[in-house]
Structure 1
Amino acid sequence: MAEGGSSQDNLAYDNDTRLLVSRLLECPICLEQMRQPKSLPCLHSFCEECLGTYIATDVSGEMASILSFPCPVCRKITFPVKPSEDKTKWAQHFSTNYHITRLIDRLKRKDTKLICGPCKTTKNEENPAQLYCKTNGMLFCELCKSKFHDVVHKGCDITHITQTSMQHLEPVSPALCPTHSGQEMDCYCEDHRFVGCNKCIITEHRQCGSVKTTKEYIEKQINMDKLFDTASNSIERIVQTFDSQVDTIKRCQDDGLEDIQRLRLRINSHLDRKQVEITQQLNTAYKTEKAKVDLYKRKFQRLRASMLNTKESLRMALLREDYTESIELYQRGRAETEAFDDLLDELEKKHSPRSPSITKSNLVTKC
């Protein structure tokens, strides 16, 4: 009979699991557990309400006539499913992220008290389960195991359980095709980046050149860890460069103020007026440049956090052999690395010419 781990190990594992789940289920906009999670084509997910509010705010005023919006995380330009609809309804037409919904359901089930099966049938629902029989899928307390299970069952795989370990005994539910009811989505078309069931592939992707099972496809992909680590290190270097630039801007401000004070000693009333004027200009310039730097710093930090989250989610999905979710996470990782390249290009184009060290070639070389 397999013995469970120590209570300290179970508690530590439970805390790590809760932390991971909270990150997976956190909306990047409201930073709370997602409600009605909607996924954009770049595979980033948000609460339907938060996404709707963001779209309404982003596509307003002078931008109201634009029929697209940037993803709040990776800034990838996104087009609505139904452009003719009112902008307040764009969010509800994006696909629901059933993987997140499933995780939320599992988290709710985690808080459900595990009751001994035989005790439950006798209305004794206060007696917690201590053992789980994998052979017949039933929960027992120590007394009921000896009294009922062991009388007729021999050689079963019995394990001690906790709330945490019970979650890992649950099988991963296969993703079902929304078009062909009951069919498992276990095929992937590389030509169209499409995940579907056998019927989808036969009816719509028969002529495609590269169709594999989801397991075959994910096993052939390169290890995403290297891409994540490279991008993460690059972002860290960029953030350090931003900090250095802020210090440089501050020193320039200080030098300018010192020059004004030296000039004031040589010029009387006229220099007094010019000192006030130039000081204001320097402060404004400093705030403006610092705001630009802080904006890009936040963008890269948020993208880095999303990449680390995607990396960990992919690792957990592979451990669960959930290949459908793994593909989605892999594609999301590719989208995030593309967003990283786009941010580098944007940074190189928009950054002040006074800061030649912030260029795509210099930063990538340093990383």
Structure 2
Amino acid sequence: MSKSEKGRSKVGKSNLDDAVVKCPICSDKFTDPKSLPCLHTFCQKCLGTYIDRYTQDNDNPRPNSFPCPQCRAIAIPIDSTAAPSMWAEQLPTNGFIMNVMEIMSFENKEKTCEPCQKQNKESVRADVWCKHCRICLCKTCINYHNALFLDHETMPVDQALRQPAILTDDELRCSRHNQNMELFCLDHNTLVCSVCVALEHRRCVQVLTTEFYAKELKNTREVEKLVEQFNECLSSLEEIVNENIKQHQNLNNKKDDIKKKMKTFRGSITGHLDKLEENFNQRLTKIHKEEKDKIQSRIQDSKVTQSAIEHSRKMIQATASYGSNAQFVATVAKARENYLDFKQKAMENSAKLESIDIKFRFNPKARDIPATVMELGEIKISHGRPDAPKPIAEMKPMMDKRAVLIRDFHIRLPSDTNDCVITGGIYLPDGKVILCDFHNKTIKMFKDTGIFISKVLLTSEPFDICQVDMNTLACTLPNNREIALLNMTDESLLLQNVVFVGKVCYGVDEIRGNLVLLFPLDKPVPSMSVIEVDGHVLDTVHRRSSGKAMFENRPFHLAINQRTAEIVVTQKTVGIGEKRAVVLYSDLNVRLSIEHDSIRWARGVSIDSQDNIYICGQNSSNVMKMSSDGSDARVLLDATDGLEHPAAIHLCGDRFFLSDVGYTNRNVVKIYEMV
């Protein structure tokens, strides 16, 4: 078997697996499979339940998107204004998955004649399959069938099983022109119909029929290489997962080890304290016994004297009552002698009498332990970076890529009365570029091939624009102090509504269904507000938590990192040491100030998939690229690349559009690719 045949076997029917037709959520075979833009597919019911749960748990009361249950890529419903329970129904049905399920069903079940089955006849073996009717027929029924349908293509069932692709209805129709997409544009890597080619791909060099291109792919190692690349990527991810599992286990082991050390340390402290306490108690017991014995001795001496005195007293009383005169006189005489002894002993015992107290004073070092030792140790986390798997290591990070001009195209329309000045715009994943033409009071929509699609003429100059949901755009009209809401389809732009905000508004971007607006002329200092699409203000900031102005100069443009919700705001400034831009946390506190003097009058700003920041320097004739922490900054494009006064930039994957308000370039938009 040749290498190309081996490659085809890797991607052919022998590689079909039940996992292809099983929903990742319910693990059963798909029911009404719905596909997301990231290409993951789920049952409509499963996806609907997931979306309902996500929107109910979401902090945003009006979400307009949801993350894919598998890869977390953000998906925007076709109509986000509809109830979230309807979003799954709006998504396209995955026809390929349904075809695969049909193929597997066809391969697994016994082939019987379907017309005979409908006539309640006993199971009759089918010999022929009709591609048009998509049914199996026996030898008898095929004769009637061929007489009625002369143009239908039939083939033996065994042959159909060997060619599973013909079992499916593989015709794809263009959503814009309702034509079969039988052509493939290599320049844009997309399926197109003949009308698409005539309208939008006239300049494209390589447009092939899908039949020819499919044969070419199957006869080369390109598909095999692609599968190998996927396998390498899977292997790399497996290495990454295993490394993370290893680090997770290592983290657990380190935690247990630290806890054991702490327990041992505490045990040594406890043991030392126990020993100190034992010695202390021994000394206390000894001192206590010595003093107690002294007291007991004095008590005993006093009691002996008491007993002798009591005896003498009783003898005097007894001889006075019952004794002879001689006995009484002798007793009294003896008692007088004894009294002097007793009095002397009483005086001696009185002299020995003393008050006794036991006091204790802590060792100052021991006493201060609770107040001075607040922690038993410091916990530090050190992060290292292990070697990346080879396929990942060989991938160039966005920071190391350079910009290559793919094409440029003219944007001035015959109806325009002035040269174009593009102050803002967005580059969409489907290849559409939406531009704010300030001088001509127009929003224009082009394909990135340069094909004009549609425009909207406004009553005032548009400055910046963002996408609110799949079909809605919002642009600022600073001179009217308004926001214009536009409805966008594949072929048109329509003015939907105008919201009055009451202040001069410049930059705009979307976050979680709300708009973030810049007000550079606010008094006493510029401000930024978060508002709902209907104009209701949710939050406004003028100053930082320190009390300083949030923006030291006029803020013009902003870009929001949809992953971290951080906001990058550029400022009109040219002085040395002045802040060109600020990066704000999601709570609107300043994370980073950008002060690169190589940027003069920072204008348009955008953020790539790896959180790197791109800033247009209008007066410095350059585009700067810098890491998210600002530690690495490089000139991406400058005057040597033909830049005069770059104003607007927006990234979409590895590509971005760039506008220039210089006299030479103002009627041209350039498309670059990071390579």
Normalised TM-score (structure 1): 0.54
**CA distance in 2 between partners of 1:188 and 1:87 (Å):** 35
2:72 equivalent among 72, 75, 87: 75
Which of 379, 382, 393 is the aligned partner of 1:364? 393
Match of 1:253 among 252, 255, 261: 255
Q: CA deviation at 1:63?
A: 3.7
1:70-109 matched pairs, under 5 angstroms = 70-109=67-106
- Code of the residue aligned with 2:58 in structure 1: it is G
Once the two structures are TM-superposed, the CA of residue 23 in structure 1 deviates from its matched residue by 1.5
Residue of 51, 56, 65 corresponding to 2:52: 56
The aligned counterpart of 1:328 is none
SS in 2 for 1:267: helix
Question: Once the 2 structures are TM-superposed, how far is the Cα of residue 228 of structure 1 from its aligned partner?
Answer: 0.9
What is the distance in 1 between the residues matched to 2:95 and 2:269? 72
Q: Tell whether the 8 Å contact from 2:68 to 2:75 is kept in structure 1 after alignment.
A: yes
Distance 2:265 2:30 in 1: 59
The gaps in structure 1 that reach 5 residues or longer are: 1-15, 143-157, 273-351
> Which of 218, 229, 232 is the equivalent residue of 2:231?
229
The answer to whether the 8 Å contact 2:47/2:88 transfers is yes
- Matches of 1:235 and 1:36, distance apart in 2: 30
1:285-300 to structure 2, matched below 5 A, reads: none
TM-score w.r.t. the length of structure 2 is 0.32
User: Which among 222, 239, 242 is matched to residue 241 of structure 2?
Assistant: 239
Match of 1:199? Answer: 195
Q: Is the 8 A contact 2:127 2:138 kept in 1?
A: yes
In structure 2, stretches of 5+ residues that fail to align are: 1-11, 140-154, 215-220, 275-380, 396-675
2:191 alignment partner, SS class: strand
**Any idea what SS the aligned residue of 1:212 has?**
strand
Is residue 174 from structure 1 mapped to residue 170 from structure 2 by the alignment? yes
* Map of 1:32 onto structure 2: 28
Structure 1 residues 243, 94: CA separation in 2 closer, same or farther (over 3 Å shift)? Answer: same
Which amino acid letter does the alignment assign opposite residue 27 of structure 1? C
Q: Deviation at 1:187? A: 0.9
Q: How far apart are the structure 2 equivalents of 1:140 and 1:92?
A: 36
- Rounded to whole Å, the distance in 1 between the matches of 2:271 and 2:58 is 46
**Corresponding residue of 1:336:** none
Q: d(CA) in 2 for partners of 1:47 and 1:354? A: 41
Report if the CA contact (8 A) 1:174-1:185 is conserved. no
- Counterpart Cα distance in 1 of 2:67 and 2:15: 28
| Partner of residue 128, structure 1 | 125
Over the matched positions of the two proteins, sequence identity in percent amounts to 29
Give, in whole Å, the separation in 2 of the partners of 1:98 and 1:41: 14
More strand as a share of residues: 2
Does the CA contact (< 8 Å) of 2:103 and 2:164 recur in 1? no
Aligned partners of 1:176 and 1:182 also within 8 Å: no
Shift of 1:175: 1.0
SS in 1 for 2:42: strand
Distance 1:121 1:73, change over 3 A: closer
- What letter matches 1:32 in structure 2? D
Decide whether the 8 Å contact of 1:132 with 1:138 is kept in 2: yes
Larger Cα-atom Rg: 2
Q: 1:267 aligns with which of 269, 279, 301?
A: 269
> In terms of mean alpha carbon deviation, does 237-246 or 187-196 score higher?
187-196
The 3 A distance-change label for structure 1 pair 123 and 32 is closer
Residue type matched to 2:23 in 1?
A: C
Task: Please tell me the residue identity of whatever aligns with 2:171.
Answer: A
Q: Aligned partners of 1:107 and 1:362: how far apart in 2? A: 34
Output one character per residue of 1:198-220: Cα deviation in whole Å (capped at 9) or x when no partner. Answer: 23433454454543222454597
Listed one character per residue, the Cα deviations across residues 69-107 of structure 1 (whole Å, up to 9, x for unaligned) are 322223322222222222222222221111122233344
Deviation at 1:244, TM superposition (A): 1.6
Which residue identity is paired with 1:262?
T
Q: CA deviation at 1:166?
A: 7.2
How far the C-alpha of 1:129 sits from its partner, in A, is 4.7
The separation in 2 between residues aligned to 1:66 and 1:271, in whole angstroms, is 60
Partner of 2:19: 23
Please say which of residues 25-34 and 196-205 is displaced more in the overlay. 196-205
Structure 1 distance, partners of 2:112, 2:127, is 9
Separation of aligned partners in 2, 1:71 and 1:118: 43
Q: Give the AA of the match of 2:22.
A: E
Are 2:34 and 2:88, in contact at CA under 8 Å, matched by a contact in 1?
A: yes
CA distance 1:66–1:122, change in 2 (3 Å): closer
Highest RCO, 1 vs 2 (Cα 8 Å, sep ≥ 6): 1
**2 CA distance for matches of 1:261 and 1:254?**
10
CA distance in 2, matches of 1:224, 1:211: 21
Change (3 A) 1:120 1:255: closer
